[in-house]
Amino acid sequence: MLVDVDARVLANRHLSDTYNILELEAPTIAAKCRPGQFVMVKTALGQEPLLRRPFSVFERLRDRHGLLIGISLLSKRIGKVTQDLFAVEPDEYIRCLGPLGKHFTIVEPPMSAWMVAGGVGLAPFATLAEALSELHTNTTLFYGGRTSADLYHLSFFQKLGVRIILTTEDGSRGEPGRITEPLKRELQTTNGRSAMIYACGPTPMMQSVAELGANANRPTEVSLEPIMGCGLGGCYSCVVPVRNDDTKSQSHFVRSCLEGPVFSGTEIIWPNLI
């Protein structure tokens, strides 16, 4: 079941002058959401912006008794909405509709789980790591950013027993270069062992991960972030090209709010994805 709530801001944690984690009081959404699902967020009461924006649910928040009280969003300041989310103060309210969309497949042992995150693409992996941990699935996080300042929240994953592999493009932390490089090596050294690869980040990164996974016969799931109008299947703005089940036509547009945002990496026709 999905709800639309005026969620009270519990805290706004600034991680840097660009990234923040916004904690929202939304117990129903917290209770219902599965890893990979998203919410549609409205920051302003007026018409700037007019539409809501989609955000992955980052964490499910609990009080000190362990009861679910809300969710958090991981946001990177790039436009009007993310600027508003960066500036919002505790006890203000944010309109929040969700949970929406398809969730990740949660794999169990003996399969292991590899999560590949680029920058703010870390967002869906906190709840995923928790769900994998509950099933005692061996989990690795491949996490890449431009600089060390782009890498966050590592202790959360460490506490869950997640193995962490870091890269930065400027070499300021972890291995210098792109996150797909250690992934490639890992695929070679663990040849034959079964792992589900999850990816979220810039589209070229997700495409690389999908191709690496396909070549190594590993299943992949990617979390796409197209421009969305409504999040409910009403507007047909957020379509992505997928392979058709029948062979009559090669590509078919599907609504990522309903059929996604999580897709199998082999399902997406990457060259047609803009």
Partner 1 sequence: MAEPDLSVSIGPLTLKNPLIAASGCIGYGVEYADVVDLSTLGGIAVKGLFLEPREGHSPRRLVETPSGLLNAIGLQGIGVRQFIDEKLPVLHRHRAVVIVNICGSTIGEYAEIARILSDVEGIAALELNISCPNISEGGITFGCSLQGTHDVVEAVRQVTDLPVIPKLTPNVANISSFAKAAENAGADAVSLVNTFLAMAIDISTRRPLLSNVVGGLSGPAIRPIAVRMVYECHEAIDIPVIGMGGIATARDVVEFLVAGATAVQVGTANFEDPMIWPKLRDGLTAYLTEHRHSSVSDVIGSVQIAQNEPSQIGD
Q: Which chain residues interact with partner 1 by CB under 8 A?
A: 1-2, 4, 42, 47-52, 97, 226-227, 229-230, 232-240, 249, 251-253, 258, 272, 274
Q: How far is the CB of 176 from partner 1 (least distance, A)?
A: 29
165 vs 228, which CB is nearer to partner 1? 228
82 vs 137, which CB is nearer to partner 1? 82
Q: How far is the CB of 273 from partner 1 (least distance, A)?
A: 8
Q: How far is the CB of 152 from partner 1 (least distance, A)?
A: 28
11 vs 51, which CB is nearer to partner 1? 51
195 vs 268, which CB is nearer to partner 1? 268
48 vs 89, which CB is nearer to partner 1? 48
43 vs 167, which CB is nearer to partner 1? 43
Q: How far is the CB of 46 from partner 1 (least distance, A)?
A: 9
Q: How far is the CB of 48 from partner 1 (least distance, A)?
A: 7
Cα–Cα nearest to 73, from 107, 28, 38: 38
Q: How far is the CB of 211 from partner 1 (least distance, A)?
A: 21
